[in-house]
Structure 1
Amino acid sequence: MARTEIRITTLLLAGTAAIAVPAAAQDSAPRDSDDIIVTAQRQEQRLQDVPVSVTAFGADQLRDNSVETVQDIAIRTPGLAISAVDPVNTNFSMRGIGSAPGISQNAGGDPSVVVFVDGVYAGRGGTPDLDALDLERVEVLRGPQGTLFGKNAIGGLVQFVSRKPTDEESFHFEGTYGNYDRIGVTARGNMALTDTIYFSAGLSHKQRDGFEYNETTGHRVNDLNLTTGRAALRFVPNDTLDIILRADISHQDQKGNPRHNNCDSSFQDGIHCVGINPDPRVVNAYIDGEIKRTIQTYSGEVNIDLPFGTLTSLTALRKVKFNFVTPFFSNPINPPAQIESTSFGEENNSQFSQELRLAFDAWDGRLKGQTGVYFLKENNDRVEGQIQDFPTPEGSGTGIYPQSVNARSFAIFGQVDVEIVPSLTATVGARMTWERKSGRFAGYKADDGPGLPPPLGSLDGYDVTGKKSWKAFTPRFALNWKATDDVLLYASVARGYKSGGFQGLSGTAAGASTPYDPEFAWGYEIGAKTDWLDRRLRLNVAAFRTDYSDLQISQLVPLCCVVVSNAAKARIKGIEVEAVVRPVDGLQIDGSYSWLDTKFIEYAIPGTDYTGNQLPRSPRNKFNIGGQFERPIGDLTAKLRVDYSWVDDAYFEASNIPQQLWPAHENVDARLSLSNPDDGWELSLWGKNLTNELTPTYVTWFSAYRQLLTPYAPPRTYGATVAFSF
Structure 2
Amino acid sequence: MRYSGKKQSVLLLAGVAAAAMPAAVAAQQTDDGASGDIIVTAQRQEQRLQDVPISVTAFGAEQLRDNNIETVQDIATRTPGLAISAVDPVNTNFSMRGIGSAPGISQNAGGDPSVVVFVDGVYAGRGGTPDLDVLDLERVEVLRGPQGTLFGKNAIGGLVQFVSRKPTDEESFTFEGTYGNYDRIGVIARGNMALTDKIYLSAGLSHKQRDGFEYNETTGNDVNDLNLTTGRVALRFVPTDTLDIILRADVSHQDQKGNPRHNSCDTSFQDGIHCAGINPDPRVVNAYIDGEVKRTIQTYSGEVNLDLPFGTLTSLTALRKVKFNFVTPFFSNPIDPPAQIESTSFGQENNSQFSQELRLAFDAWDGRLKGQTGVYFLKENNDRIEGQIQDFPTPAGSGTGIYPQSVNARSFAVFGQVDVEIVPSLVATVGARMTWERKSGRFAGYKADDGPGLPPPLGSLDGYDVTGKKSWKAFTPRFALNWKATDDVLLYGSIARGYKSGGFQGLSGTAEGASTPYDPEFAWSYEVGAKTDWFDRRLRLNIAAFRTDYSDLQISQLVPLCCVVVSNAAKARIKGVEVEAVVRPFAGFQLDGSYAYLDTKFTEYAIPGQDYTGNQLPRSPKNKFNIGGQYEAPLGDLSAKLRVDYSWSGDAYFEASNIPQQLWPAHENLDARLSLSGPADRWELSLWGKNLTDELTPTYVTYFGPYRQTLTPYAPPRTYGATIAFKI
d(CA) in 2 for partners of 1:365, 1:238: 24
Superposed, 1:422-441 pairs within 5 Å as: 422-441=424-443
SS in 2 for 1:332: strand
> Which amino acid is 2:340 matched to?
Q
- Give the TM-score normalised by the residue count of structure 2: 0.95
Task: Give the corresponding residue for 1:640.
Answer: 642
Give the one of 149, 152, 156 matched to 1:150.
Answer: 152
Q: How does 1:412-423 map to 2 (within 5 A)?
A: 412-423=414-425
For the residues of structure 1 that align with 2:681 and 2:393, how far apart are their CA atoms? 66
Match of 1:520 in 2: 522
State the SS of the aligned residue for 1:329.
Answer: strand
Identify the residue that residue 274 of structure 1 maps to in structure 2. Answer: 276
Cα distance 1:722–1:336, how it changes in 2: closer, same or farther (>3 A)?
closer
Contact 2:335 2:341 in 1 (8 A): no
1:397-445 deviation digits (Å, cap 9, x = unpaired)? 0000000000000000000000000000000000000000000000000
Q: Which amino acid aligns with 1:320?
A: V
Please give the secondary structure, in 2, of the residue aligned with 1:364: coil
4+ residue segments displaced more than 6 Å: none
- What residue in structure 2 maps to residue 166 of structure 1? 168
Question: 2:617 — aligned with what?
Answer: 615
User: What is residue 704 of structure 1 aligned with on the other side?
Assistant: 706
Which secondary structure does the structure 2 equivalent of 1:262 belong to?
A: strand
Letter of the 2:366 counterpart: D
Q: Which residue number corresponds to residue 181 of structure 1?
A: 183
Give the Cα–Cα distance (whole angstroms) in 1 for the partners of residues 387 and 366 of structure 2.
61
Whole-angstrom CA distance in 2 between matches of 1:64 and 1:545: 34
> 1:377-526 maps to which residues of 2 (within 5 A)?
377-526=379-528
Distance in 1, matches of 2:468 and 2:332, equals 36
Report the TM-score when normalising by structure 1.
0.95
One-letter code aligned to 2:406: S
Q: Is the 8 A contact 1:147 1:414 kept in 2?
A: yes
1:434-466 CA distance string (max 9 Å, x none): 000000000000111111110000000000000
Matches within 5 A, 1:86-105: 86-105=88-107
- Cα distance in 1 for partners of 2:269, 2:229 equals 41
CA distance in 2, matches of 1:518, 1:419: 35
* Counterpart Cα distance in 2 of 1:610 and 1:124: 30
How far 1:97 moved relative to its partner?
A: 0.1
Structure 1 segment 187-586 matched on structure 2, within 5 A: 187-263=189-265, 265=267, 267-332=269-334, 334-335=336-337, 338-586=340-588
Deviation (angstroms), 1:326: 0.3
Partner SS state of residue 447, structure 1: strand
Question: Compared with structure 1, are the counterparts of its residues 468 and 87 closer, same or farther at alpha carbon in structure 2 (3 Å cutoff)?
Answer: same
| 1:75 aligned to which of 70, 77, 85 | 77
Shift of 1:263: 3.6
Unpaired segments of 5 or more residues in structure 1? Answer: 1-29
Secondary structure at the counterpart of residue 113 of structure 2: coil
Q: Which residue of the partner structure matches residue 3 of structure 2?
A: none
Q: Give the whole-Å Cα distance in 2 for the aligned partners of 1:561 and 1:549.
A: 24
User: In the aligned structure 1, how far is the partner of 2:636 from the partner of 2:146?
Assistant: 50
Please state how far the C-alpha of 1:34 moved relative to its aligned partner.
1.6
Instruction: Give yes or no for contact 2:377–2:411 (8 Å, CA) kept in 1.
Output: yes
**Distance in 2 between residues matched to 1:134 and 1:406, nearest whole Å:** 32
Residue aligned with 2:680, SS = coil
Query: In 2, are the aligned partners of 1:31 and 1:534 still within 8 Å (CA)?
Result: no
- CA drift at 1:337: 7.6
Q: Give yes or no for contact 2:221–2:290 (8 Å, CA) kept in 1.
A: yes
Match of 1:111 in 2: 113
- 8 Å CA contact 2:550–2:572 kept in 1: the answer is yes
* 1:390 Cα deviation from its structure 2 partner: 1.2
- Contact 2:265 2:708 survives alignment (8 Å): no
CA distance in 1, matches of 2:273, 2:242: 70
Aligned to 2:36: 34
1:605 corresponds to which residue? 607
Contact preservation (8 Å) 1:651, 1:660: yes
How many Å apart are 1:346 and its aligned residue?
A: 0.2
- Contact conserved, 2:266 with 2:709, CA < 8 A, in 1? no
Mapped to 2, the partners of 1:472 and 1:677 lie a distance apart of 56
Cα distance per residue 1:513-572 (max 9 Å; x no partner): 000000000000000000111111100000000000000000000010000000000000
Secondary structure at 1:704's aligned position in 2?
helix
3-state SS of 2:357 partner: strand
How far off its partner does 1:270 sit?
Answer: 4.3
Of 59, 62, 65, the match for 2:64:
62
User: Aligned partners of 1:361, 1:271: CA distance in 2, in Å?
Assistant: 71
1:451 alignment partner, SS class: coil
SS of the equivalent of 2:160 reads: strand
On the 8 A contact 2:114/2:500 being kept in 1, the answer is: yes
Separation of aligned partners in 1, 2:242 and 2:299? 26
Q: Is the 8 A contact 1:271 1:707 kept in 2?
A: no
8 Å Cα contact 2:518-2:567 kept in structure 1: yes
Give me the whole-angstrom Cα distance separating, in 2, the residues matched to 1:701 and 1:382: 25
Query: Contact 1:269–1:706 (CA<8 Å) still a contact in 2?
Result: no
Which amino acid in 1 is paired with 2:596?
A: S
Tell me how far apart the structure 2 counterparts of residues 193 and 360 of structure 1 sit (CA, whole Å): 32
| Aligned residue type for 1:536 | R
Confirm or deny: 8 A CA contact 1:212 1:222 kept in the other structure.
yes
Q: Supply the distance in 2 between the matched residues of 1:97 and 1:268 (Cα, whole angstroms).
A: 36
Pairwise mapping of residues 637-716 of structure 1 onto structure 2 (< 5 A)?
Answer: 637-678=639-680, 680-716=682-718
Distance 1:476 1:183 in 2: 47
Structure 2 match to 1:140: 142
Contact persistence 1:59–1:136 (CA under 8 A): yes
Give the 3-state SS of the residue equivalent to 1:48 in structure 2.
helix
Question: Please, which moves more after superposition, 364-373 or 446-455?
Answer: 446-455
Q: Cα RMSD over matched residues?
A: 1.0
How far apart in 1 are the matches of 2:679 and 2:345? 51
Separation in 2, partners of 1:486, 1:270: 65
- Write out per-residue CA displacement over residues 647-704 of structure 1, whole angstroms, 9 at most, x where no aligned residue: 0000000000000000000000000000013360000000000000000000000111
Give the Cα separation in 1 of the matches to 2:252 and 2:315.
25
Give the number of equivalent residue pairs: 697
Q: Distance in 2 between matches of 1:254 and 1:329?
A: 20
- Could you say which residue in structure 2 is the equivalent of 1:121? 123
Residues 35-64 of structure 1 show CA distances to partners (whole Å, capped at 9, x for unaligned) of: 110000000000000000000000000001
Q: Tell me how far 1:32 sits from its aligned partner.
A: 5.1
CA contact (8 A) 2:429 2:479 kept: yes
**In 2, Cα distance between equivalents of 1:31 and 1:679:** 16
| Contact 1:270 1:706 survives alignment (8 Å) | no
Q: Give deviations 1:99-130, integer Å, cap 9, x for gaps.
A: 00000000000000000000000000000000
8 A Cα contact 2:295 2:322, kept in partner:
yes
By how many angstroms is 1:269 displaced? 4.0
Aligned to 2:28: none
Once the two structures are TM-superposed, the CA of residue 336 in structure 1 deviates from its matched residue by 9.3
Distance 1:451 1:183 in 2: 48
Q: Distance between the aligned counterparts of 1:307 and 1:584, measured in 2?
A: 45
Rounded to whole Å, the distance in 2 between the matches of 1:350 and 1:668 is: 39
Secondary structure at the aligned position of 1:279 is classed as coil
Match of 2:23 in 1: none
Per-residue CA distance 1:459-488 (angstroms, 9 max, x = gap): 000000000000000000000000000000
Does the 8 Å contact 1:286/1:333 carry over to 2? no
Using the aligned pairs only, state the percent identity.
Answer: 91
